[in-house]
Amino acid sequence: MKQRIAKFGIGDIVRHKIFPFRGVVFDVDPEFANTEEWWNAIPAELRPSKDQPFYHLLAENAETEYVAYVSEQNLETDESGEPLRNPHVAQIFEQENAGHYKPRMNLAH
């Protein structure tokens, strides 16, 4: 299998291309690493390829904050400059500049 380089890194702020949510990347899987049940719950016409990076996000939409697992093909850089309100962001990251957070030193390994 061809190894792919992740387009986004830890701390990058991204938005979903189809659904109205955005978030900060806190982990990256080089390819799909979730359950088949999760995979099959995605409508077939929207189901992405498994052989691409998948991102764990501290995500939010207009109503709530949550954790999301999203394929690279469905993400783009969020250029809004708006801060994220997800309460876990401040626990894990500190603002570095517009569009990016850096992990807090006490959490880095």
Give the pLDDT of the chain (109 residues) as one tens digit per residue. Answer: 566 789 999 999 999 999 999 999 999 999 999 999 999 999 998 899 999 999 999 999 999 999 999 999 999 999 998 889 999 998 999 888 767 899 987 654 4
Sign of CA dihedral 10, 64, 75, 35: positive
Among candidate residues 24, 3, 30, the one with its CA nearest the CA of residue 77:
24
Residue 106, pLDDT score: 67
Residue 2, pLDDT score: 60
